[in-house]
Amino acid sequence: MGEIIIRGMLPKDIDQVVAIEKICFSLPWSKESLEKELINELAYYQCAEDKGKIIGYMGMWRIINECHITNIAVLPEYRNKGIASMLINKMIEICKCSEIDRMTLEVRKSNSPAINLYKKFGFVEVGIRPNYYVKPVEDALIMWKNID
């Protein structure tokens, strides 16, 4: 693993991001959906890059003074190396510069590694969305974080 660069997602990254989606999620976002996100003025997408290869990414939507994390994914062979933390730190930095006060997300109740990561960043559990996920059906934890 070389020096990891966190940078804004570009149209040329979409095919690699779609491949990550297919590896990481049972219902991956389509290429078309991701292309629309890049032109959405209220969407922020960042990539983690290792020697020209996209190894992870994260997206969020701005909703007035809050943001909603839409997705975060890291290739399995790059997990537990701090990549997701780098992406989250970058998004928190963007929030601070954009007068965003709070961040929210949903996460599968069974996804303990992600839940623990979010808690490390100060996210707290505030509720449950029953049957939010499909393939398999599962409740989502709703988590919030205030931006300091």
User: Which residues carry out catalysis?
Assistant: 106, 118
> In the structure encoding, which two tokens stand for residue 67, read together?
């943001």
By the 8 A CB rule, do 143 and 102 touch? no
Among 49, 46, 61, 57, which residue's Cα sits nearest to residue 23? 57
